[in-house]
Amino acid sequence: MIEKFVKKKLIRLANSSNVLKLWYMYHYIFHDKKLGNLGLDFTNKKSRLEIIQNIIDKKNYKTYLEIGCFDDELFNHINCERKVGVDPVSGGTIRETSDQFFKKNGENFDCIFIDGLHEYGQVKKDIFNSLNFLNNNGIILLHDCMPDSYYAQATPRCQWEWNGDVWKAIVECRNNKDLDVYTCYADYGIGVIFKRPNRNLLDYPKKNYSKLKFNEYFYNHKKLMNIIEYEELMKII
């Protein structure tokens, strides 16, 4: 109980306006290349709830895992026979970090939605841990893969509306011949990963994908992210 209370306090501190302002100034002075916004507009796009539920229904999936539940905004509304939600602070059904959960998990899932810590290193671990517990013909989905500006993806976090650098993990996976990876243009970018031969392999080798720069994404996001519309996604699955 005390540990949970401390975690909540630390999260609130890290996301407090004063701390975010300090990180904003850091990024502004040292990293922002003044590229501006990409102009992404998700206004009339499908929500992640609609996309996930439609996939579950179409594929007749029975098991669903959600990493990062927070206030159960999504988890409570997903309709699936078996649901497991993992979050170290609130929401879901299991009060653990994703690393702790996967270390002792013995269950496979049809659909896995990753929306935990939005930082490349953790996202990459969550992806590859999820692959180990994905049923045949299953799907992995990720939230916040299409940031509209440098600050929306900057780490450490420097503003309230924040996607993190999830996009870097998508770029890395797109270079993997054994993973078929897409990004659906909806709800701040929904990453889509199938455990099957890559149908559109990206030739963008890097020794360390955490070192990718925002300007690479800014000028090449369509190529790097393999962006598709919702209708195409439903045909692919």
Rg of the chain over all Cα atoms, to the nearest angstrom: 17
Secondary structure in 3-state letters for 94-111 = ECCCHHHHHHHCCCCEEE
Summarize pLDDT for 110-161 with one digit per residue, the tens.
999 999 999 999 999 999 999 999 999 999 999 999 999 999 999 999 999 9
- In whole angstroms, give the CA distance from residue 53 to residue 48: 8
Measured between alpha carbons, how far is 156 from 146 in angstroms, rounded to an integer?
Answer: 17
> 55 pLDDT band (50/70/90 cuts)?
very high
Residue 9 pLDDT? 42
Question: Residues 156, 158, 164, CA angle at the centre, nearest 5°?
Answer: 60
Q: pLDDT tens digits, residue range 183-212?
A: 999 999 999 999 999 999 999 999 999 999
Question: Which two three-digit tokens encode residue 191?
Answer: 């990453």
pLDDT band at 13 (very low <50, low <70, confident <90, very high): very low
Query: ∠ at Cα 179 (75, 191), nearest 5°?
Result: 35
Instruction: Verify cis geometry, omega within 30 degrees of 0, for the bond prior to 156.
Output: yes
Mean pLDDT of the chain: 94
Q: How far apart are the first and last CA of the chain?
A: 42
109 vs 16, more confident: 109
Domains of the chain: 2-236 (3.40.50.150)
